[in-house]
Structure 1
Amino acid sequence: EKVLRTMSYRGPKEHGPLASEGRDYNDGGRDYDEGLRSREEEEPVDEPEKDKAKTSKVYTAADTLLATEESSMGTHALVIDYTFSPDWSFGINYTLPVFNLQDRDQLVILYAGAHVGVIYNHTSTSQHLLQGHGGPISCLCMSEDRRWLGTADNGREPLLIIWDSYTGIPVHTLFNGPTEGSVIALAFSKDAKYLATLGGGEQQVGQALINNMLHDIKEALSLPIYIIFNPGDSTELLSNSDSQVLFYKAVSAHFKGFNQSVGSLGQSLFHWRGQQALTATSAGNLVLWDEGDEAAGRNAIKLLPLQREAITVLTSTDRWIVTGDVLGHIKFYDENFRLMSWYSDFSLDAIASISFSKDAAPEPSQDYPESCILADQPFVSRSFVVSTVRATVVHVKTPGGGPQTLLREHCAPLHAVACHPRRPILAMGSHSGILKVCDYNTKLTLASRVYESERIQCLIFDPQGAWFYVAVGFASGAVHILDASSLHSDAEDCFHFSDNSITHITFSLDSMYLATAVTVTVFHLHSSPGSTTQQWQLVGRHISHYKPIRELLFGVHLDSTRPRLLSLAMDRRLVEYDLDSSMEQQLLVLSAERVEQSAVPQCMTWYPPLSTERFLLTASDQHKMKLLNSTTNMCRKTLLGPTYESPVQKMVVLPGSSYTYYLAFITKDKVGLQILPLDGNPYSSLAVVCHPGGVSQLVCSFDGRFVFTSGGADGTVLRWRINPHALQATAALGGSHLDPFYALLEGGRGGTLCREMEDLFYYCQLRHQGIDSMAPRQVSTSIPLTEVPFLMRALGFFPSEQELEDMQNEVKFSKYAETGKYVKEVDLAEFLRLYINHRPAFGISRKELAESFRVLGFWDGSGRMAIPRDQLLELLQARGEHMREDEVVECLTVLSGEHMREEVEGEGILPATGASEKHAANEGK
């Protein structure tokens, strides 16, 4: 539902602290819940309260944020763990405006990136991140005095936050937003006493809070795009879509259209005299609205053909009306709509926003350009910041200053990110064809290149760094190997062997091999006899998977430096390639094994050397992680992975010492850190939202201090500073030994399930010794491995035979590498870990059972999914893990509640057709 609402809050006349009646945050002992009184109010204030105000950072702030700081870690509106702290945002949300906060001695701008607001000081090359939103920022605004900033997001639980620009502190927060749904437009009144919000939906339904009275507004209006207050009257405002305009005056609302074709409507503004309003169109016209009678409201009185190009931005400064158009031109008109000056030589794309300086223009001088109308008269205007639809931000300083490019970022999805293995260098490539290499410490761009007709999908630096290569994979299937210092490539280092997008690209550890996917293709750096130059040559290609590849990974053979190449795909197969025997453009497969039974692999990496055995670490869509022996591919351990709504999508082991290692990972929208070695402890990992719209890539710096995440569609890359000590503290608070695992049991350590587990554990000892045995019982602290399947099933977990084999191998070979002996028994503590790590992370839902009927059965005509008895018996005995006939009879007899009888057959137990519940009932339960 679209909602228009004006939120009234008690604010200062000048630069006093902002007050409100909602839920706010404390700052310097000042409780904003009680509200900070305006300086112009004359209510009595207690002396202690005055002292608190004097200690408030907001109350005492007197200058713009980042005026002298070199860097800033950001301010959080919500309380979060500082294991991860975003300290720099590469990229910009080019669909939202850019605001000029200051341009005197410090050039400071405000813009949005993913879910953070960015206050960027171009003079000192520093950023302050306004962090607190859980969804992508949908709109932002700024008060006329540049003191207050407003941001809103369109997440599942949308927030609207008002910030103090002098300190970066959030002073007022509305949870779940002031509207029914997300906020898509914001506007402050001229005196910053009111804030108008605009929500999205099919019908314009809103409320206006003016003069302490709440009024409903209901009008049919298409999707609005803009909202603005009348600078001369804070009780009047307008909103407009691409076809309609809605004026609000106090408690009344008037819907307006135009009785002739004028093109799509753009931005609107009130004339500084307050009597007229203007709306720009895609045909280069201005619609002029004038005041009518009180009942009819404003009327469109004239259509002004201002220019031929479509107007994308309409704003004003001082006594000038300013337009920006699709050709990148900026034009200034006087109050009679006469062209006074223009900027057309900046070579910009279509203008997205124009924001003028807070400071008035200097006195007229010869440095100003001449007016187009008045001969020998200088045209005087303020400095301003311009943003374009291709993510370029330019500052124009007046008088006499030319355009200064502040930002030139990606304006398309950004998936390709790579860190140099030895230097603080970051490479980024996007679907706009822009490839940038920058120093992520100094934030300086070292090299850039634009591929006009290509979309960059992935890239990587060579690990050795000796040749300083960067390999780039394109959506067209092309692969270019570039010199990373200049980003230039020779023709013989550009390959195009596929018509499909390159999804993965990786170097071998010695930088002699390069592999790409979607079809696995391998290149080798070859030295010609008698030549000192080296050239990349194709080794071969192989279609080794029938589903998308999730990971392409180089490693080395044990006790050798010879490279080995592995691929893991959604078809659950782990494939290793024979690089030594592959020749004559023929890539050979050395082995191919199925590593999952029902789960779908998501990613893979090499496990650090924390034991004498070498492992591969995989993660699946069932929130499980597996350690596979790197030689035999045997599953050596299954562990409960991070459970943050979505499974782990990618993981990277951070560089560390021989004793301490950490695993960085990403899920659908979060970045997290996991303490190694893995043990299934849920308190050993932590994750925070990094890109609410989805995170596509994760890389780490060469020294392990930072991780970088790319947001894909949001076109941004965030640098996260890692503090592993905070995670260690969190893990310590979770308890030691078995305490974290008991917390995962229903009811905890003293609950029914835990007591039942202990009783069944000792019952298994009796069962193993024989229920009817009269010999003295030998009570022990462990049970044989052969009893584990029965104990698991008694607890309601029914693993497959393959899963049972993995459990037994996990215990059996747990000490073989150190002692050379098998473990044949398991104690209660080890069994508890087995149960927690192997059982489904979230249990088996009714929805999953219904899905099984949908896959295996058919609609029986009465709204139910059914499986014929004969078909079910055939599936049980012929598909998957085959069951013998006697096993089927035994299971069905137990499930039916009948006593075991040798003559009972499956046909006598089951009805002719087994059906699920009705679809409607199934959906409701």
Structure 2
Amino acid sequence: MSGQSEVYSATRDTLFSKNNTPDTTHALTLEWVYGRTPCLPVLTLQDLDQQVVLYAAANVGVIYNHTSNSQHILQGHSRNLCALCVSQDKRWIATADPSPMVLVWDSYSGIPVCTLCDCHPKDGLTDLAFSQDAKLLVTLGTGQMQHVCIWDWTNDAERPVCCLDLNPSHGFQKHIVFNSSGSELLSCSCSHVLLYSLEQKSLSCFALRLRKGGGQDTGRSGSMCAADGALVQTGFHWSEAQVLTATTGGSVVVWDVSEGATAQKDKVSVCHLQEAPFTVMTVTDSYLVTGDTEGTVKFYGRQFLLLAFFPDMNLDPVSFISFSSEASAGLLQDCPIRKEELFIRNFVASCSGPQVVHVNAETDEVRTLLDEEPEPIHALCCHPSRPLLVTGNNGGLLKLRDAASKRTVSRRRFGAQEQITCVTYDPQGVLLAVGLSSGCVHLLDSSLHSDPHSDPQDGLRFSRHSIALLSFSSDALHLAAADDGFAVTVFRRVSESAAWESLGRHRSHFAPVRSLLFGLQLDSTQPRLLSLGQDRRLVEYDLECSSGPRLSLLSTERVEQRAVPLSMSWYPPLSTEQFILLSTDQYKLRLINSTTLMSRKLILGPTYGSPLQRVQVLPKTKPEQSLSYYMAFTTRDMVGLQILPADGNPFRSQVQIAHPSGVSSLSAAFDGRHVVTAGGADCSAMSWSVSTQALEAAAALGGTHMQPFYTLLDGGRHGHFFREMEDFFFYIQLRHQGTWTEQSRQICACIPLSEVSTMMRAAGHFPTEQEIEDMLNEVKFSRYADTGRYVTELDLEDFIKLFVNHRPALRGTTEEELEQAFRLLRGERATMEREELLQLLQSQGETMTEDEVLQSFSSLLELSEDHSPDRSPDRTPDRTPDRTPDLSPPTGSKSAVPAEVSLETLAQILGFSTASDSPPKDVKKPLPPH
């Protein structure tokens, strides 16, 4: 094994000469990124044998080799990138996110070499740049009070060399650069240019102020000059002691700074060069280079004489220009303006539109490197039998991509005001349904041409609301659509050669529809359709009896009592029963019998920052491909993989940060080897390679049998909580057999099913009556499909699994739940009357009898017959073994509850802490007996 550093031994050809096989150490590996962040530059890295560029996409940096059509992805940020830059020699890359964190990478090997954390702890940063020798890195903060920090990143410094606070009156500085000596810097806002001087770890600045129209400058803060428009960018003159600044009026402002910070206003001049507004300006070699709103790049020499220009690159305004560092890249012999030899480097220009082009200065050849529209991507779908991917964006552009070659096969644009909200293939991959924000659905063939049996102009128009979900039946003869108006519409095709007709429409939910799912009737090939809404209702539609404008309903079932369902999918055939899998906002997975719609199991889902928003079981191309099934899922900003069957084991899932601004869509490839996510607002989509072996290995490291579940208990297997559970387990047996008995006790390893709810409450989980019923049904029918017998008892290990799956996934949120529940009861009032509270408990929700209410308050207030408010606390109770305990509610229960109940009062009664420092004084709690 060589001890030489990979960074030290790397060369320009190292990165893409590596074996680019997917990493099998993670369950999901980012393999390809579609799209880019349009507000950040595209920077050239290589330009001779290979054309390599760097750009940002969501939270990753992408080194793209256009010659070999390959990517190397720089992963390390948890938030979307806000700035990136490269050194003059193209060796070092710096990327930054708003956390704020800066990573410095070696572009030759793709390895991170330095991390700067909390660079600008208050507000993050907006730009950064290397010095000419790449030894220093400057970061420009954001926020109301901006900061400029200089970092000596080569010495692993944890703190900057120096910092400077900027005056907010100088405007928001958005661009910063070093000069060639590294002792001076420039930054620019729309109204001011700041000139910085770096001397012996000390940084100072001088403001070059501009005002439209000119006038007298009576202050000493800087120089002033008339300028036409806002400032765009600034830079140092290549040979003179001057600062050059481009404006939106097509002018360049020149400051003479030969005397440093003593520049006077009479040494400032403005040169009007063109009518089109400048959008970008930079200085390279011996030229001033500008880009404008007409998509033209121009080169100016001394005295701002136009030497060369490139007008025919594209029609969009130029946003960024990046030049090659190779000395032999670009030699223009013929100057169209002046008859002399000019040396102009090849460059890459990115625009406000989709195109990024490479310009060969010698041949005037313009080559498109990237063509990705800067529009949010909310819709994507993988082909069910071929390596094809369809994406749709908010600009109405539909793209068909080859997932193997990563090339765009075809495209189709809808109306300018149309946003593509969802796309889906039929099971055979013949038809593609496209949902639009206008409420229209278009049916296309696999090449994105209109289906001959649908109207190519209007499509299927049936709603004024945006289409949210689309789903085909297995025979592709039915198409269901859900819109933002909470309605479901079904279309039917009588035969393959017939047009589509409406089967009916029904507003079956009163909250957004989260999932739309076709299946097959039991022991039949007839399709069945189900929809799941945030209103907690699972609706099944009667497709056979539906005709005309109204869609008939077959059944409506409330599937959750408190949780909000977020997604639905068919569970794979892992048992003799057929299940529907639901995910909820309480980090739970619920299995529902597809025939009876009865809840059969509640499982703790992955807890990675947010609940599961989408789930999809990965398809299998061969039955013997694996003994297990796998489920891809997304949270708010992550994508993950889980082993099925789900059992609550936290080690059977893994996640990766996908889109920090939010995942908008998920789709799995036909062979189950890739999953693709869309990021919506970040204008990107990501393809992830699946490694089930890595996931299985990670699950094995988590332990076998009960070990993973013990880790979910406070203190683990040998902790105090587990010992308490063991004690409770035997106390329950004593309670079940009777406290007072002279018969010999039979202690066993199980408790009867009827005592599960008592055991749950003793362990600290207080389920509702409905949750208790679901819990008992889960245990009772757990083996019925296989053995035909009910389960009537369970042991401690089974109870621990039941407990960790059913208790709240995130503890410590009870105060918020209590406040929300009390707000629902009292409305806008601060308090509620005692009689009103007691009446609500007996009439709303899971109602309680009067005896149950009184008994509950007696227990909560520690009242008993022996020391209730109606009795003396000094009285010694008469306790004999033969006496039967009196469980009737004490007469003082009601009087112990205050007449006016506030949130603090209720929290004290229930034993919760509140934000109030002093406890309420209105609860009449008796003194303990002497």
TM-score between the two structures when normalised by the length of structure 1: 0.88
Matched, 1:867 2:867: no
Aligned partners of 2:762 and 2:657: how far apart in 1? 39
For 2:542, what is the secondary structure of its paired residue? strand
Matched, 1:184 2:126: yes
Counterpart contact for 2:379–2:665, Cα < 8 Å: yes
For 2:82, what is the secondary structure of its paired residue? strand
Counterpart contact for 2:639–2:655, Cα < 8 Å: yes
Counterpart contact for 2:139–2:148, Cα < 8 Å: no
User: By how many angstroms is 1:277 displaced?
Assistant: 1.2
Percentage identity across paired residues of the two chains: 46
For 1:746, what is the secondary structure of its paired residue? coil
| Match of residue 403, structure 1, among 359, 366, 383 | 366
For 2:422, what is the secondary structure of its paired residue? strand
Aligned partners of 2:675 and 2:598: how far apart in 1? 31
CA offsets 1:562-613 (integer angstroms, 9 cap, x no match)? 1111111110000011111111233111111100001000111000000000
* Superposed counterparts of 1:137-156, under 5 Å: 137-155=81-99
Paired residues in the alignment total: 852
For 1:835, what is the secondary structure of its paired residue? helix
Counterpart contact for 1:65–1:168, Cα < 8 Å: no
Aligned partners of 2:696 and 2:17: how far apart in 1? 34
Counterpart contact for 1:73–1:129, Cα < 8 Å: no
Equivalent residue, structure 1, for 2:278: 311
Matched, 1:878 2:843: yes
| Match of residue 35, structure 2, among 80, 84, 91 | 91
CA offsets 1:496-553 (integer angstroms, 9 cap, x no match)? 21121111111112211111112211111233xxxx7232222111100000111111
For 1:432, what is the secondary structure of its paired residue? coil
Equivalent residue, structure 1, for 2:208: 256
Equivalent residue, structure 2, for 1:650: 614
Aligned partners of 2:94 and 2:330: how far apart in 1? 33
| Match of residue 655, structure 2, among 665, 668, 687 | 687
Aligned partners of 2:262 and 2:835: how far apart in 1? 76
CA offsets 1:64-107 (integer angstroms, 9 cap, x no match)? 45554684658xxxxx9611110111111111000111121211
For 2:717, what is the secondary structure of its paired residue? coil
CA offsets 1:637-665 (integer angstroms, 9 cap, x no match)? 00101011100000110123473101111
User: By how many angstroms is 1:389 displaced?
Assistant: 1.3
The letter for the 2-side match of 1:283 is G
Equivalent residue, structure 2, for 1:462: 426
Aligned partners of 1:266 and 1:911: how far apart in 2? 68
For 2:243, what is the secondary structure of its paired residue? strand
User: By how many angstroms is 1:168 displaced?
Assistant: 0.9
* Superposed counterparts of 1:405-444, under 5 Å: 405-444=368-407
Matched, 1:750 2:718: yes
| Match of residue 528, structure 2, among 564, 568, 572 | 564
Matched, 1:495 2:460: yes
| Match of residue 476, structure 1, among 438, 442, 445 | 438
Matched, 1:392 2:341: no
- Decide whether aligned partners of structure 1 residues 606 and 905 sit closer, same or farther in structure 2, where only a CA change above 3 A counts: farther
Counterpart contact for 1:188–1:195, Cα < 8 Å: yes
Counterpart contact for 2:863–2:893, Cα < 8 Å: no
The letter for the 2-side match of 1:553 is L
CA offsets 1:22-48 (integer angstroms, 9 cap, x no match)? xxxxxx97xxxxxxxxxxxxxxxxxxx
Q: RMSD in angstroms over aligned alpha carbons?
A: 2.4
Matched, 1:268 2:234: yes
User: By how many angstroms is 1:719 displaced?
Assistant: 0.8
For 1:580, what is the secondary structure of its paired residue? coil
Equivalent residue, structure 2, for 1:595: 559
User: By how many angstroms is 1:214 displaced?
Assistant: 4.3
| Match of residue 161, structure 1, among 103, 110, 116 | 103
Matched, 1:922 2:915: yes
| Match of residue 896, structure 1, among 840, 843, 861 | 861
- Decide whether aligned partners of structure 1 residues 902 and 673 sit closer, same or farther in structure 2, where only a CA change above 3 A counts: closer
Matched, 1:729 2:697: yes
Counterpart contact for 2:138–2:151, Cα < 8 Å: no
CA offsets 1:166-214 (integer angstroms, 9 cap, x no match)? 1111111112336544222111111212111111111123444689994
Counterpart contact for 1:66–1:121, Cα < 8 Å: no
The letter for the 2-side match of 1:568 is L
Aligned partners of 1:363 and 1:729: how far apart in 2? 52
Counterpart contact for 1:889–1:905, Cα < 8 Å: no
- Decide whether aligned partners of structure 1 residues 363 and 219 sit closer, same or farther in structure 2, where only a CA change above 3 A counts: closer
Matched, 1:807 2:775: yes
| Match of residue 217, structure 1, among 164, 169, 187 | 164
Matched, 1:279 2:245: yes
User: By how many angstroms is 1:402 displaced?
Assistant: 2.4
User: By how many angstroms is 1:159 displaced?
Assistant: 2.3
For 2:77, what is the secondary structure of its paired residue? coil
- Decide whether aligned partners of structure 1 residues 393 and 65 sit closer, same or farther in structure 2, where only a CA change above 3 A counts: farther
User: By how many angstroms is 1:857 displaced?
Assistant: 2.4
CA offsets 1:275-300 (integer angstroms, 9 cap, x no match)? 11112222222222221644535767
Counterpart contact for 2:174–2:189, Cα < 8 Å: yes
Equivalent residue, structure 1, for 2:220: none
TM-score between the two structures when normalised by the length of structure 2: 0.88
CA offsets 1:691-732 (integer angstroms, 9 cap, x no match)? 111111111110011111111100111111111111111111
Matched, 1:106 2:50: yes
Which has the higher mean CA deviation after the structures are superposed, 179-188 or 145-154? 179-188
Aligned partners of 1:439 and 1:209: how far apart in 2? 43
* Superposed counterparts of 1:548-559, under 5 Å: 548-559=512-523
Matched, 1:854 2:823: yes
- Decide whether aligned partners of structure 1 residues 825 and 688 sit closer, same or farther in structure 2, where only a CA change above 3 A counts: same
The letter for the 2-side match of 1:56 is S
Counterpart contact for 2:478–2:491, Cα < 8 Å: yes
- Decide whether aligned partners of structure 1 residues 921 and 815 sit closer, same or farther in structure 2, where only a CA change above 3 A counts: closer
Matched, 1:701 2:643: no
For 1:726, what is the secondary structure of its paired residue? helix
For 1:851, what is the secondary structure of its paired residue? helix
Matched, 1:450 2:413: yes
Counterpart contact for 1:64–1:165, Cα < 8 Å: no
For 2:552, what is the secondary structure of its paired residue? strand
Which has the higher mean CA deviation after the structures are superposed, 377-386 or 551-560? 377-386
Equivalent residue, structure 1, for 2:760: 792
For 1:582, what is the secondary structure of its paired residue? coil
Aligned partners of 1:241 and 1:478: how far apart in 2? 45
Counterpart contact for 1:506–1:514, Cα < 8 Å: yes
- Decide whether aligned partners of structure 1 residues 362 and 558 sit closer, same or farther in structure 2, where only a CA change above 3 A counts: closer
Aligned partners of 1:743 and 1:94: how far apart in 2? 45
- Decide whether aligned partners of structure 1 residues 580 and 209 sit closer, same or farther in structure 2, where only a CA change above 3 A counts: closer
Equivalent residue, structure 2, for 1:349: 316
Matched, 1:201 2:132: no
CA offsets 1:249-272 (integer angstroms, 9 cap, x no match)? 123211232132532221211111
Which has the higher mean CA deviation after the structures are superposed, 776-785 or 200-209? 200-209
Counterpart contact for 2:617–2:631, Cα < 8 Å: yes
Counterpart contact for 2:234–2:245, Cα < 8 Å: yes
Matched, 1:582 2:582: no
Aligned partners of 1:206 and 1:642: how far apart in 2? 41
Counterpart contact for 2:55–2:63, Cα < 8 Å: yes
- Decide whether aligned partners of structure 1 residues 400 and 207 sit closer, same or farther in structure 2, where only a CA change above 3 A counts: closer
- Decide whether aligned partners of structure 1 residues 552 and 752 sit closer, same or farther in structure 2, where only a CA change above 3 A counts: same
- Decide whether aligned partners of structure 1 residues 457 and 209 sit closer, same or farther in structure 2, where only a CA change above 3 A counts: closer
Equivalent residue, structure 1, for 2:194: 246
Matched, 1:825 2:793: yes
CA offsets 1:458-496 (integer angstroms, 9 cap, x no match)? 10111112xx21111111111111122143455525112
Which has the higher mean CA deviation after the structures are superposed, 630-639 or 452-461? 452-461
Counterpart contact for 2:48–2:329, Cα < 8 Å: no
Counterpart contact for 1:87–1:719, Cα < 8 Å: yes
Counterpart contact for 2:330–2:344, Cα < 8 Å: no
